[in-house]
Amino acid sequence: MTTRQGNASSTDRSAAVAGALPDRAYSLDSTPPTDYEPESPIDFAKASLTEIADHFKTDKGSLKHHYTPIYERYLAPLRARAGLHILEVGVACGASLKMWSRYFRDPLVVGADVRAECAPLCRGYDNISIRICDARSTPQPETFDVIIDDASHISADIVEIFRANWPSLAPGGLYFIEDLKCTHNPRYPEQTAVRAPPGRFARRHFIDFVDAELQRLDWRRGEIEYVHFYTELAVLRRRES
């Protein structure tokens, strides 16, 4: 039974659709936060994560990155768990927050973003909350079962977001880092809307972080059970104990 999931009003839905943008625009940090709501409903309980992603126009699905089959490999066993607590850093237009809110049985979804304009998004969903903060230095107070870093994709930011938020991940929890190509794409500093000193884009921040964590894993001294790499995506699991 779902108790915290809401729906956007018909007025909000019509306004959102009337101002619809190109599909992938809803996942870009260069797009002004736009609260898109699809006109036609789907059966969320029977839909795959990819179908739900495409419904809300997040690029985690078939619109671009094709992350959702990988996510589903890890998250399908958690789908029926009520009260699953999810943190996604990087809100964009809130499309993936809506995806998570509909994929799981009865989740609590928190989105964190530095842009104040994101605050009004997803107001029709009473199981989504958006917090305006810098996740590189401001960890959230709750414990989360799943944390997703879909923020700036700047190499130094990825490490700082991990260091600040990993302590909030529950034992056995999953931590996802998206868009790793950005850490070595020489054009990314020009492509992103985020401005940062050139040194923060350097790949070495991420590589040094991975190397240090793998060494701790090998010596059984860290909290990471495994690190799995896929195309542009990393998955880390926190040890149970």
Main-chain phi, psi angles of 3, to 5 degrees: -120, -20
Active-site position among 65, 85, 153, 205: 153
Burial class (CB in 10 A: 0-12, 13-18, 19+), 227: middle
CA 118 to chain centroid, in Å, comes to 14
Q: Three-state secondary structure along 127-160?
A: CEEEEECCCCCCCCCCCEEEEEECCCCCHHHHHH
Beta bridge partners of 128: 109
Active site residue 184: no
Based on C-alpha coordinates, what's the Rg of the chain? 17
Burial class (CB in 10 A: 0-12, 13-18, 19+), 174: buried
Collapsing DSSP to helix, strand or coil, 109 comes out as strand
Distances (CA, A) of 172 to 9, 190, 223: 37, 37, 10
Q: Which residues are catalytic?
A: 153
